[in-house]
Structure formats: C-alpha cells, structure tokens
Structure 1
Amino acid sequence: MGENIFCNEPGFCQHCGSILPLLPERGGVKCLLCKAEFGPEVFQQPDRKYIIYFNSKPTGTKKLNMNGTAESEGPVVERRCPKCDNDRMSYATLQLRSADEGQTVFYTCTKCHYKESENS
C-alpha cells in the first residue's frame, strides 16, 4: 500500500487510522476499511519506562523565607525530626491504601529535608 500517514499506535491501522478487529487465534489481522494486512505485532505495546524520584536531596540553592529558614514544600506542623531534632516538618497526604483505611502522611524536615511517612 501507500505511505503510512497515521501514527503507529497499537490496534489501529497504519494506513487509514481505523480500529483493527480482534486478533484471531492464528495469523495476522486485516483492516475492515482499507483491507491492509498486519501481523500480530500490530497489537504489541511499546516498552514504557518511568522514573520516580523519592527522598532525593534538593538541587541548587535553597529558597529562604523571612525567618532565614528553608522554604517548606507544604503546610508546616510542630513535629520533631528524628535526624536533626528540628521541631518543624512540612507534610503532604495521599490515599495509598483502600478507601476505608486512613491516608498516608509524608513529612519533610524544614531544616535537613529528611523524609518519613506515617499511616494514619
């Protein structure tokens, strides 16, 4: 057939863009609209990679507030840091477990940036 004008998304015809029918038990698949034929690899997903950074030290210079201490990344509470004994930590919450259980609280020291979590 002619040049591929559509992107190579899995499950779509590369020639006309229509959704391909389900793959039979054997052999390839044929587009119902333009009759182009494809092998089973047309349904394979490309590999996806994700990088999640957690507990990394901030890079560059620290932003300071009016008191001369480092700016926090969220609301600040009075909580003692187990690493440096600072009495202020910022926090963020996420619902990581099922809805009928409490949420997870992530604390970050405003002085040394030590991170810890607590299931509430």
Structure 2
Amino acid sequence: MASDKSPFSSTTAFCPRCGSILPLLQEFGSVKCYTCKTYYDAENFSDLKFHYTINFNTVSVTNEATLNTDGPEGPVVERRCPKCGNDKMSYATLQLRSADEGQTVFYTCISCKYKETENS
C-alpha cells in the first residue's frame, strides 16, 4: 500500500490515506481510490476474504387443526361481492405490469371466497 503517513487506521477495504471505501478488485493489477486517486497493488488484497450469510424463511409444518382458513386473506375493505352480494372483501396487490403502470389488485370475498381482479 501507499507509504504516506496516514491519519486513518483501516482494513484493506478502505483507503488508508483518506479513509474512503475502495472499489472492488476486478482484475489483476492495481486499485485506484476514487477520492484521493492513490493506487494500491493487487497483492495488498490477497488476504481479503468476504463471508456472506443468506437466511431463508424457514418452512413450518402446520396441521389442519391450527390452519385458519375461515379468516380473510388480507386487509378487508368495503366492496360488494358480485357473486353473493356480501359487502366485505379482502385484497392483495402486486405489480404485474411495467413500473410506469398501475398495480393489480386481487379481491377475495370473505364470505364465499369468490376472487376478482382490478387493474388500477
């Protein structure tokens, strides 16, 4: 690394001269600090290791006695079901079309479980 005296003490992920984060080493060669423009040799990064932890949702086993299928499938709004006439439906939204268009709303009757969609 650079031999200049530094006010910073840092790991190899940060520039010891100015303290800003260094770009990732893409190829063999050198790394240039974006802030102070100091170059560092690739050998300085040979012991740098990254560890990643990816946590997934756990699968829980539920038996049919604890599974509640009678309740609504989401937030409830006042909307008349076209099938049974009930005035309450639950809803969920998804962005199925392009980002500059509205979202799709999925309604479910809390009485007869009839489903319908609306593009907003």
Q: Which of the two has higher C-alpha Rg?
A: 2
**TM-score, normalised by the number of residues in structure 2:** 0.43
TM-score, normalised to structure 1, is 0.43
